[in-house]
Amino acid sequence: MSYFLWIEDFEGDVKITADLLLGSIINLPFENDKRKLKRQLKEQGIFLELTFQDGLSFIKDNDKLKQVDYIILDIDLKSHNGSIDDISDDVLDLLEKFQDYTKSEDEDLFNKVCNDLKQIAGFYLYTHLVVELGFPKTHILFCSNHGEDTKKIQNAFKEAKILLPQIYQKSKSDVQSWVKRCYGDPYSRLRRGIIEGCKYLKNLTEEKLRFNNFIQEQDKQITLEDLHNYLDLLENFLPLRVPPDPATVYKLYKLFVRTLAHEWESATPWKSKNLASLELYAFTSIMKLTRNWSAHSRVFEKINEEDVAYLFIVSMRAMFVLDDNLLRYEKHLLQLFKFVISEQEVINKTVLEKSYSNVLSLLDEPNKTDFYYALDDLQRSNTQDDKYLIQGLYQTFWILTPRGDLDEIKRKDGITKRYKFPKLDYFKAQKDNYLFELARHIYKRSFDG
């Protein structure tokens, strides 16, 4: 999901207004008290501010503004809560510059100025976002309960020589359509999941850093500070404004994957075999292959949001010791996978055998007994397209995670040989942790393309 800032003072019914704007994305009974609603929506990634002053404070705080992807603005907003003494310096400064007001004890004058501000409050917020901060106009929804009564705000834009954005009535279906489209936008959802993941990981202690276990050379091992710098880079890599054409988006994702995988240059995946977690060998192998391919091939020319999310989850799970439960940012990223098998569906050994057989048969000398080396050789042989190789990064998860004994597999070329094959019961035993959720989300992408 994408995260929203919603600035609304609720002159009408709180519950009805919330349902009009957010009913298309949140399937919950909304609170009818605006303070309770604010707490409820924060759990859903929606930050609600209830006055012009609070909204202005939020958008002027860079750290807070970075928490959101889209903004819903009301036109008509109460200036602040409380008396003249409760108004902020930022709002006073705005009143002095644009409303010709100087602070005094005259409450009647103050109330009049605040009432004038109320009618065009959305204009000030919009222009600060777009003109001062460069926030994308396409990420802002301007709406009102009084869509037919916008003369004052129209004049404000006209006098400022700024093109008036479209103003929607909250009751119109276009509003819910806009919110739903933005909420599920794959680029924004990927970007937000990466940001939230990096923020979470930067709070981990040094004891949770596992990455150096895979690096033999002491001089190439990294510190927690190095990892924080790396996570800062990933967190800020994808811009808020999505590039205008698909080709540019592909280039951006390719560069992100190359940056994500760069740290794995000195890693040795087989060292993870000595650790307790079975999936580590798969995860480290996936990232080592990604590092090699991103530096020396064109495999990632057309990588999509699902694939970037998968590699980010895998890399962070390998680098850090994380909880067995699916983490919040992982849930966020896994929502990018459109076709998810149910908990009741059984993992099919025949499908895995076919995938393993296909890779081995395509090699000139199919004598490798480890899927990692077979797949890497396949990439070097240039006998398969990039789509097939990216799919191989998913299949690596299935084949290397639950390492089993040698088993006979009939290859695509008809030859039967003994290869090391996974114990599928391992996945079935993981229902209470992240591994099972990851498996059922990526299953279709792994084998159906």
pLDDT of residue 449: 54
CB 182 within 8 A of CB 139: yes
Pairing of strands 70-74, 4-7: parallel
pLDDT of residue 156: 84
Angle CA(383)–CA(388)–CA(393) in degrees, nearest 5?
Answer: 115
Name residue 323's amino acid.
D
Q: Which residues of the chain have pLDDT under 70?
A: 146-149, 276, 346-349, 352, 356, 359-370, 383-384, 402-413, 417-425, 428-430, 449
pLDDT of residue 203: 95
Pairing of strands 406-410, 416-420: antiparallel
3-state SS class at 207: helix
How far is residue 98's CA from residue 39's CA, in Å, rounded to a whole number?
33
pLDDT of residue 444: 87
Residue-wise pLDDT tens digits, 65-118: 999 999 999 988 999 887 788 889 999 988 888 888 877 778 888 888 888 888
Angle between helices 89-98 and 107-119 (to 10 degrees): 80
Q: For residue 372, which of 259, 222, 272 has the smallest C-alpha distance?
A: 272
3-state SS class at 410: strand
Q: Which helix (H) or strand (E) holds 245?
A: none
Residues forming beta bridges with residue 142, ordered by sequence position: 73, 167
pLDDT of residue 276: 67
Classify burial at 173, counting beta carbons within 10 Å of its beta carbon; exposed 0-12, middle 13-18, buried 19 or more.
exposed
pLDDT of residue 419: 63
SS3 content of the chain, % helix, strand, coil (to 5): 55, 10, 35
Residue-wise pLDDT tens digits, 350-385: 776 777 677 666 655 555 556 777 788 878 877 667
pLDDT of residue 311: 98
Instruction: Give the sign of the dihedral formed by CA 142, CA 148, CA 152, CA 156.
Output: positive
Centroid of chain to Cα 282: 23
How far is residue 375's CA from residue 371's CA, in Å, rounded to a whole number?
6
Residues forming beta bridges with residue 71, ordered by sequence position: 5, 140
Backbone φ, ψ for residue 17 (5° rounding) = -60, -45
Q: Rounded to the nearest 10 degrees, how much is the dihedral formed by the CA atoms of 290, 293, 299, 305?
A: 20
Measured between alpha carbons, how far is residue 160 from residues 148, 171, 210 in Å?
Answer: 21, 29, 55
pLDDT of residue 27: 86
The two tokens of residue 64 are 């807070």
How many residues comprise the chain?
A: 449
3-state SS class at 151: helix
